[in-house]
Amino acid sequence: MGLILFLAFTLYINVREADRAPAKRSNQHTLDPLYEDIRILCMIPYNYNGPGTAKYVKRTWGRHCNVLLFVSGDIDGELEPYVPVVNSTDTWTLVHQGLMHASLSYADKIDWLLRVEPSSFVVVENLRYMISKWKYQPSQPIYFGYLLENIVTHEPFAHHHSGYVISREALRRYTEASKDPENKECTHWAGYVEGLDIHRCMSFANVTVAESRDEFEHETFLPVTVDYQFLVGYDTIPWLRNLTYHKSTEKSVPISTRAICFLVEYPPEMYDYYYFVYRAKIFGTPVPTSIDFGP
């Protein structure tokens, strides 16, 4: 329930701002004025042995993407995924093959690629807003998400479970570098840590990590499920507190009122989230400056 209230609150703020600008004609699921200017491909890899989670993405928030691409090791009647030649249930293998396919098939149709888990709920309009707010361009070689710290190099890299966004130029550079069999920095190995692997290749291709926090330095990509965010806190997740790149003294991750990506513990709840974010109307409610569920 905490997430539902929070999402409704964030959308209320954005709708108030969007109402001041004329909405461009777009698809039937969104009146986002940035829909045609900031084209986003949402890529979701999933294990074909358990496709039940991914279907909730297609039925809810996935309809707000310009392109929705599922990647799997086998066909599925509802999801109609891209199935690579390499049949695999390894997520990093599916992601790598999906990135190569997206670059080949959609390079002229998209500006940004969002890679998320099938158990993620994404407010795509907030992503477009953030890209516009920071004046990011698809021609820039950048990518961003919730940042962790490499304990060896101390460099930041995007936590893949939280989702990350790649510019069109960064995608082009990644795929070109990955095609070179002599390039050991971009050699894909099944079973490796996706976030570290893709960052190593991105760094080789001179792709830099960009800011994904809002103007108050609050996170827009949530690295944990909402029960940790609003109830337990992340003191019980020592790896996250130790590895997060932007250190915080707060009990939980400081989260933006324009948050983008959430991890959902029970995927059917996406129906509930979708209703409260996109269908419920808030009338006569003053906009608070923060969210607090404490006593």
Residue 134 — pLDDT band, cuts 50, 70, 90? very high
pLDDT in tens, 10-66: 554 444 444 333 333 334 466 789 999 999 999 999 999 888 899 999 999 999 999
The CB density around residue 248, as the number of other CB atoms within 10 Å, is 14
pLDDT in tens, 143-201: 999 999 999 999 999 999 999 999 999 999 999 999 998 899 998 887 789 999 999 99
DSSP state of 119: T
Name which of 57, 20, 59 is nearest 42 in CA terms. 57
pLDDT score recorded for residue 234: 76
Residue 231 — pLDDT band, cuts 50, 70, 90? confident
Q: Per DSSP, what are the bridge partners of residue 67?
A: 41
- Domains (range + CATH), the chain: 2-279 (3.90.550.50)
Strand order in the sheet with 40-45: 67-71, 40-45, 112-115, 164-167, 142-145, 208-209
What CA–CA distance (Å, rounded) separates 270 from 59?
9
Q: What angle do CA 88, 90, 94 make, to 5 degrees?
A: 70
What CA–CA distance (Å, rounded) separates 138 from 15?
25
Contact 81, 72 (CB under 8 A): yes
pTM of the model: 0.88
Q: What angle do CA 162, 168, 170 make, to 5 degrees?
A: 70
Pairing state of beta strands 40-45 and 112-115?
parallel
Residues of the chain above pLDDT 70, percent? 86
What CA–CA distance (Å, rounded) separates 76 from 252?
38
